[in-house]
């Protein structure tokens, strides 16, 4: 895949004249197609569970594993539209729900976060059991992209992922968190906080010792809830340890980075473009237009096609045959 050509192929529809419009209209108006998938629950080593939606086309085909963003799920339009495109190309598809993001609230005190990698291990182990000879390809949107980059950094070349795509990744977690609580972005922040707080209070019925949220921002939530629940000293410790901005040189797996230069939630100025260009395993695709996860193209389908084309490059025995940096 020539990423420069992929960038130039993105043509925005005229009514999406900035990143906010792309982000909001794609989220509210783009349909999530119905898919012939099966809901499967898998156990985690700590006596919890994960909910997966699986499109099974047979063991002879490669597998694409898709990870959603903050407070998303496997039913979100961007997951379903990509799953439809990839499955049409004879891929098995596994659509992940992070803990507490599926139809059921998970059992343990913990939820998920931008550096969660233990559950990725659990998911990959299950997939390899089901499809032992198939190449595994992953794609993560926003927080899901951060999760996968953290996983790849931690495991080097000792993992089963053949290639990866990270879309609209929050590379600088602290700056991104603060950015979400300024200007128009407060609309997104409020929406995230509503569901995060609701889940926290539902879970408190079973775990009355959960920390209490008394803040007003996502930074406050991460400082008071996310960090202590997942073993971090505070929000700054969490952000510092899990921000992928600082470890692009440690990614040893072929990874396509898709990020709009007009992204309002995770501004492009925090994308580590120099480190991406220096790493021969990384490929940057940075269109001038588009939003956060949302890319309303003319014709529709640029994002799904770009990711699927990248995955196709690794379809034959897990080997790349058409990637140009």
For the stretch 210-258, pLDDT in tens is 999 999 999 999 999 999 999 999 999 999 999 999 999 999 999 999 9
**Phi, psi (degrees; rounded to nearest 5) at 142:** 55, -115
- The mean pLDDT value for 157-185 works out to 96
Q: What is the pLDDT of residue 1?
A: 75
pLDDT band at 316 (very low <50, low <70, confident <90, very high): low
Query: What pTM, to 2 d.p., does this model score?
Result: 0.96
Q: Which residues contact 221 (CB under 8 A, 6 or more apart)?
A: 193, 196, 197, 213, 215
**Residue 5: per-residue pLDDT:** 81
* Mean pLDDT (the chain, rounded): 95
Tokens of 282: 């990384």
What pLDDT score was predicted for residue 325? 47
* DSSP collapsed to 3 states, the chain: CEHHHHHHHCCECCCCCCHHHHHHHHHHHCCCCCCCCEEEEEECCCCCEEEEEEECCCCCCCEEEEECCCCCCCCCHHHHHHHHHHHCCCCEEEEEECCCCCCCCCCCCCCCCCCCCHHHHHHHHHHHHHCCCCCEEEEEECHHHHHHHHHHHHHCCCCCEEEEEEECCCCCHHHHHHHCCCHHHHHHHHHHHHHHHHHHHHHHCCCCCCCCCCCCCHHHHHHHHHHHHCCCCCHHHHHHHHCHHHCHHHCCCEEEEECCCCCCCCCHHHCCHHHHHHCCCEEEECCCCCCCCCCCECCCCHHHHHHHHHHHCCCCCCCCCCCEC
Segments making up each domain of the chain, as ranges? 3-172+245-312, 173-242
Task: Answer whether residue 322 shows pLDDT above 60.
Answer: no
**Rounded percentage of the chain residues whose pLDDT exceeds 70:** 97
Band (pLDDT 50/70/90 cuts) for residue 4 is confident
Percent of the chain with pLDDT over 90: 94
CB atoms within 10 A of CB 154: 15
C-alpha span between 166 and 164 (Å, rounded): 7
Distance separating alpha carbons of residues 142 and 140, to the nearest angstrom: 7
Average pLDDT over residues 150-175: 98
- Bridge partners of residue 138, in order along the sequence: 65, 164
pLDDT at 2: 82
Q: Give whole-number Cα distances, 73 to 97, 218, 324, in Å.
A: 5, 19, 33
**Cβ density class 60-85: b for 16+ within 10 Å, e for less:** ebbbbbbbbbbbbbbbbbbbbbbbbb
Name the pLDDT band for 6 (thresholds 50, 70, 90). confident
pLDDT of 279 higher than 50: yes
For range 119-141, the mean pLDDT: 97
Q: Residue 315's pLDDT band (boundaries 50, 70, 90)?
A: confident
Query: Long-range contacts for 8-17 (Cβ within 8 Å, ≥24 apart)?
Result: 9/302, 9/306, 10/287, 10/289, 10/290, 10/295, 10/297, 10/302, 11/297, 11/298, 11/302, 12/289, 12/290, 12/296, 12/297, 12/298, 13/296, 13/297, 13/298, 14/298, 16/289, 16/291, 16/296
Q: Count CB-CB contacts under 10 A for residue 277.
A: 13
Q: Which CATH architecture has domain 3-172+245-312?
A: 3-Layer(aba) Sandwich (3.40)
Nearest to 141 by CA among 89, 223, 83: 83
């Amino acid at each position: 895949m020539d990423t420069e050509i992929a960038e130039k192929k993105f043509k925005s529809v005229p009514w999406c004249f900035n990143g906010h419009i792309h982000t909001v209209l794609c989220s509210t108006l783009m349909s999530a197609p119905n898919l012939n998938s099966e809901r499967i629950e898998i156990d985690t080593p700590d006596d919890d569970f994960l909910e997966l939606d699986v499109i099974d086309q047979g063991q002879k085909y490669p597998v694409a594993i898709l990870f959603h963003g903050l407070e998303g799920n496997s039913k979100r339009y961007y997951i379903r539209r990509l799953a439809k495109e990839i499955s049409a190309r004879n891929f098995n598809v596994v659509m992940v729900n992070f803990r507490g993001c599926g139809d059921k609230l998970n059992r343990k005190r913990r939820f998920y976060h931008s550096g969660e990698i233990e559950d990725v291990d659990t998911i990959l182990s299950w997939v390899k059991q089901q499809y032992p000879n198939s190449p595994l390809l992953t794609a993560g949107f926003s927080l899901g992209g951060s999760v996968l980059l953290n996983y790849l950094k931690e495991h080097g070349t000792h993992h089963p992922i053949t290639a990866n795509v990270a879309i609209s990744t929050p590379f600088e977690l602290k700056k991104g968190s603060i950015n979400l609580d300024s200007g128009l972005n407060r609309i997104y922040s409020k929406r995230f906080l509503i569901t995060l707080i609701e889940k926290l209070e539902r879970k408190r019925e079973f775990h009355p010792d959960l920390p209490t949220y008394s803040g007003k921002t996502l930074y406050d939530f991460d400082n008071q809830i996310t960090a202590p629940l997942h073993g971090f000293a505070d929000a700054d410790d969490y952000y510092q340890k899990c921000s992928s901005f600082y470890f692009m040189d440690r990614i040893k797996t072929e990874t396509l980075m898709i990020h709009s230069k007009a992204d309002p939630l995770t501004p492009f100025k925090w994308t580590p473009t120099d480190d991406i260009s220096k790493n021969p395993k990384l490929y940057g695709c940075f269109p001038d237009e588009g939003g956060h996860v949302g890319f309303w193209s003319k014709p529709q389908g640029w994002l799904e096609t770009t990711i699927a084309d990248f995955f196709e490059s690794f379809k034959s025995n897990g080997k790349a045959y058409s990637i140009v940096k």
